[in-house]
């Protein structure tokens, strides 16, 4: 099973990197771009074949290491 974890700064937390990318896109002429957020994706294989237990496991990894829930939110995809 392949896990993908998407980590982004929470909506209320200023994403200065996203803001800089947004300004750059505006500079290139894409003036309709708004709300750019820069996050990260972490991918890995899991030996588990049970989707429910895999999800519980990956969420625990997010809480413990992959995301800092003071400032970040995460989304888990399993395939």
Q: Does 24 bind other proteins (CB under 8 A)?
A: no
Q: How far is the CB of 16 from other proteins (least distance, A)?
A: 5
Q: Which stretch binds other proteins (CB under 8 A): 11-19, 27-35, 47-55?
A: 11-19
Alpha-carbon gap, residue 22 to 34, rounded angstroms: 7
Q: How far is the CB of 72 from other proteins (least distance, A)?
A: 8
Backbone φ and ψ of 7, nearest 5°: -120, 125
Choose, by CB under 8 A, the member of 8, 62, 66, 74 that binds other proteins. 66
Measured from the CB atom, is 2 or 10 closer to other proteins? 10
Q: How far is the CB of 50 from other proteins (least distance, A)?
A: 27
67 by Cβ neighbours in 10 Å (0-12 / 13-18 / 19+) ranks as: buried
Strands 72-78 and 2-9: antiparallel
């Amino acid at each position: 099973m392949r896990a993908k974890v998407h980590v982004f700064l929470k909506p209320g937390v200023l994403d200065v990197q996203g803001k800089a990318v947004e300004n750059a896109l505006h500079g290139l002429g894409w003036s309709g771009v708004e709300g750019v957020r820069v996050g990260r994706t972490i991918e890995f294989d899991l030996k588990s074949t049970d989707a429910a237990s895999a999800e519980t496991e990956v969420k625990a990894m997010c809480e413990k290491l992959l995301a800092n829930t003071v400032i970040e939110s995460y989304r888990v995809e399993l395939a």
